[in-house]
């Protein structure tokens, strides 16, 4: 019985991940924004597939993406879109996430995309802030609808 419940949870997470990826791609197409520039695919896998871990909680999901994107934007505005600046931005974002207890490994791609793509300040709002909040809301609704009421273990 326990193994069956585990498989149901795994299947529910996988289905939720597929739906969330489909929605992300639909939004990217509608906004004429390349899906490869949207940093949420691995966040979706983490939040839907391993919702119990600390890095999948809303504080880490939203805070990690916002903080990493902010670091990336600050670095690119100061240093420009150079490969060394992208590497520095990723390292600084990792440090900032650890210091603020918002460590979300998938958010580590944000500063890389931002610096290499020389993204504008508006990237922080859309797609980063909007995407992180929408993913948290989607995960909350999905986990409730599929009977996995344990997500999030805490909001903050």
Q: What percent of the chain has pLDDT over 70?
A: 97
pLDDT digits (tens, 9 = 90+) for 70-106: 999 999 999 999 999 999 999 999 999 999 999 999 9
pLDDT at 2: 64
pLDDT digits (tens, 9 = 90+) for 108-147: 999 999 999 999 999 999 999 999 999 999 999 999 999 8
* pTM of the entire predicted model: 0.91
Range 60-90 burial, b when 16+ CB lie within 10 A, else e: bbbbbbbbbbbbbbebbeeeeeeeebbebbb
Largest CA distance in the chain: 57
Give me the chain's average pLDDT, please: 92
């Amino acid at each position: 019985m326990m193994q069956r419940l585990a498989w149901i949870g795994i299947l529910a997470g996988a289905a939720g991940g597929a739906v969330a990826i489909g929605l992300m791609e639909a939004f990217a197409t509608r906004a004429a924004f390349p899906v490869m520039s949207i940093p949420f695919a691995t966040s979706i896998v983490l939040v839907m597939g391993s919702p119990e871990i600390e890095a999948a909680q809303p504080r880490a999901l939203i805070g990690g993406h916002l903080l990493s994107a902010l670091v990336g934007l600050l670095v690119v505005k100061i240093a420009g879109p150079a490969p060394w600046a992208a590497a520095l931005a990723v390292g600084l974002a990792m440090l900032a996430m650890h210091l603020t207890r918002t460590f979300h490994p998938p958010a580590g791609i944000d500063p890389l995309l931002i610096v290499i793509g020389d993204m504008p300040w508006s990237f922080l709002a859309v797609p980063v802030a909007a995407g992180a909040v929408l993913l948290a809301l989607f995960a909350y609704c999905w986990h409730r609808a599929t009977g996995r009421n344990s997500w999030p273990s805490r909001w903050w």
